[in-house]
Amino acid sequence: MSPAPGDYVYFKSQVPLHKIFIENKQWRYYDFGPKTVPPLICIPGIAGTTDVYYKQIMSLSMKGYRVISVDVPRVWNHHEWAHAFEKFLDTLSIYHVHLYGTSLGGFLALVFAQHRPRRVKSLVLSNAFLETHKFAASMPWSSVVNWTPSFLLKRYILSGIRDGPHEPFIADSVDFVVAQVETLTREDLSSRLKLNVNVASIGPLLLSDSFITIMDTNDYCAVPQQLKDQVSERFPGARQAILKTGGDFPFLSRSDEVNLYLQLHLSRVGVGAQPDKVQDSLEDGGGDDASNYDNPPVREIVGPRMIVINPNLWDQVTPVTVTFSLNIRVPVIIV
């Protein structure tokens, strides 16, 4: 397995992972950025975890936005998801939210917007879909998914990712997500597959099309083009942010473009950044008294790592101390 990217190592050293239990469901999430700003909440697809949005968390939080990235907990139907997500928001004392969902995460964002319309202020949908019938038809063994061994579930999920030559950034994004899939348990995998194949469709939303951005990739994606086209047809007044390439995981492979589109979306729907509060977020580690740290913020990196430093952030980030072991040099790239 390839080593973790240098910017991800730095992210893990700066941003704590929270774990809380709400009604017997574990939520793993990152929450970073000024707490006075309405949050953008990122919801991953089947193969994603809370970590896959680390590039959005680091970039947007440094600009004064609050970004929350969540793992989909172990829920087994869409009504249970809407209820569990609402309880999660209540626990964090968050009422109004802006949701960014990719693939299954986009569908779950739409489910929540349909069932709790007053809480959702805007949506960013990336490679999303409106109904699950096609996925249910392609998985006739879904009734026994709860008893399927973990390695078979992982194989099935990873089979949806295109195999073959990729652009370097897309190949890196695939490697990162594959590594994240390996961290998921059998219960995590079966729960997500159930959400993906339980037959359901999205009805009318109260949210105006002008508060929706559709961000799709034009190259290969595991979500069929027909299903992506249905989203654009349902919301003709939504803003279109089309990425020429990016694969299934543009938030990793085309993070600069994705982050720009997210920033434009937030600005358009009235979310004001507070860059003057960034330093406070760095000092308190984006902490939350209601949660437990899985990886407390540290300031030291040991061993052969690559650190990516943006010179525009010199006055905002906490200095990193690099410890050398066995006379190994640590490369530092200025980007």
Q: 170: domain CATH number?
A: 3.40.50.1820
d(CA 335, CA 115): 43
What is the reported pLDDT for 300? 32
Is 5 part of a structural domain of the chain?
Answer: no
Q: Are residues 197 and 316 in the same domain?
A: no
Residues 23-52 have pLDDT tens digits of 999 999 999 999 999 999 999 999 999 999
- Is 9 contained in some domain? no
For residue 330, pLDDT over 50 is answered with no
Regarding whether 303 and 254 lie in a shared domain, the answer is no
Same-domain check for residues 215 and 306:
no
Mean pLDDT to the nearest integer, 11-23: 96
* Residue 311 is assigned to a structural domain of this protein: yes
Report if residue 25 sits inside a domain.
yes
Whether pTM exceeds 0.95: no
DSSP 3-state helix, strand, coil percentages of the chain (rounded to 5)?
A: 40, 15, 40
Looking only at the bridges linking them, the beta strands covering 25-32 and 67-70 are antiparallel
Using left for φ > 0, alpha for ψ between -120 and 50, and beta otherwise, residue 216 falls in beta
Q: Quick one: 179 and 44 in the same domain? A: yes
pLDDT tens, position by position, 77-125: 999 999 999 999 999 999 999 999 999 999 999 999 999 999 999 999 9
Q: Reduced to 3 states, what is the DSSP secondary structure of residue 99?
A: strand
Question: 105 and 202: one domain?
Answer: yes
CA distance linking residue 42 with residue 40, whole number of Å? 7
Split into its structural domains, the chain has a count of 2
**Which of 47, 46, 8 is CA-nearest to residue 30?**
8
Q: Is residue 7 part of a domain?
A: no
Look up the domain containing 205 and give its range: 15-295
